[in-house]
Chains A and B, each alone.
Chain A
């Protein structure tokens, strides 16, 4: 065995991952080559140091709680256990049902949505917005900055986005600002403002537009109402499970 070959095997030898025959061959080489033996010694010392000194960072308890909560939220939308049925019968029918109703919702959405939404770009964005909204409500990661004060939320976006989104609280009108978040839609960073109306959570996604102002265009996807407006050089996509009327109210408020 040459030194070059030995150098490639020393690590696997120390990790006890070599087959016995190769291992013996390497040992023979190490016993006759001081330089390779020294290299092996250094690697062994490194492994010892890493094992003793490199921080193993256990998960904070807070993260465990967040994940447990997210897991429960995401499957418990329907009843999860109903006693006697065999294990396999519990979940899969629900998945199938969900898939079918999802397919029907998608089909209805295609039939019902206005023409401009049906372009590939529009449809893609609808899916992205629904995904972002669902993720934000499932993952208990609704807000990056939590504040009802627009003077806190707006500056928070500075440096995180290449634009400054308009931020306003409409608590008096029934739409309480909960905070803000940076999200990603169509591969660009967008501002997400989160509002609460009664028990409904609303995500408003905002990013710059070079198009002229556009009237609200409402669509439904996966049980969510989605409204899209372009106003004063900004795109607004508003999504929530609250009624279309309420969404239109918020859209009107956002336009100021």
Chain B
């Protein structure tokens, strides 16, 4: 990526409050001082938490354990929640719990080299049939092959509908990194779907 490209990465400032800047969020700070408050603020995000964990650890039982562990950690650290975006705050914990879990339970070789550049010069076929015909099984397989730190970007953005700013908060990376990882992840997904389409009877 050239310097010129970098300088043009100016993104719209986030519309939502960030956990790190409580003063900007002013009066609506939820103060977590009892379990009812904790449940009221964080349980509504259970589906989002589970969905992210499910996509990261790729297994429903493990995802449940990860989410439960994450909620207990969140409870333990709830005094450090100073208001702001509860969903991003919680999912950051879910995400970290999942990554800890994966590093502890990883079997076999780590994700293969991320070589999305190999087809970068080929423009995709104009009719996009290889994407439009992709079913959920094809998409799941392609997503599962992404390294976790790229998979989480796509899941948070295209499945959960998070803003870049929220994703940056969850994954604890700059917004520019969110943007470049999303672009690389989607390029890799397109390549994988095209390959599958060409070899899987789509010719």
Contact = CB atoms under 8 A, between A and B. Distances in A.
Given A12-B11, A19-B11, A63 B132 contact: no
A15 to B, nearest CB: 6
Interface in B119-167: 123-124, 126, 128, 131-132, 134-136, 139-140, 143, 154-155, 157-160, 163-164
Interface size class of A (residues with CB under 8 A): 35 or more
A11 B31 contact: no
B203 interface: no
B72 A50 contact: no
Contact of B186 (A11, A53, A56): A11
Interface of B: 1-2, 4-5, 8-12, 31, 33-35, 38-39, 43, 46-47, 49-51, 54-55, 60, 64-65, 67-69, 71-72, 75, 79, 104, 123-124, 126, 128, 131-132, 134-136, 139-140, 143, 154-155, 157-160, 163-164, 179-180, 182-183, 186, 189-190, 193
Contact of A4 (B1, B132, B163, B189): B1
B36 to A, nearest CB: 8
Interface of A: 1-2, 4-5, 7-12, 15-19, 21-22, 25, 35, 38-39, 41-43, 45-47, 49-51, 53-60, 62-64, 66-68, 70-72, 74-76, 80-81, 87-88, 90-92, 95, 135, 138-139, 141, 184
B7 to A, nearest CB: 10
Given A57-B51, A67-B71, A68-B43, A50 B158 contact: yes
B183 A10 contact: yes
Contacts of B140: 54-55
Contacts of A68: 39, 43
A15 B164 contact: yes
Q: Which 6 A-B pairs have the closest CB atoms?
A: A59-B50, A50-B158, A42-B124, A5-B5, A53-B136, A45-B131
A83 to B, nearest CB: 13
Contacts of B136: 53-55
Nearest to A67: B71
B183 A39 contact: no
A5 B182 CA distance: 15
B47 A59 contact: yes
B159 A66 contact: no
Contact of A11 (B5, B72, B131, B182): B182
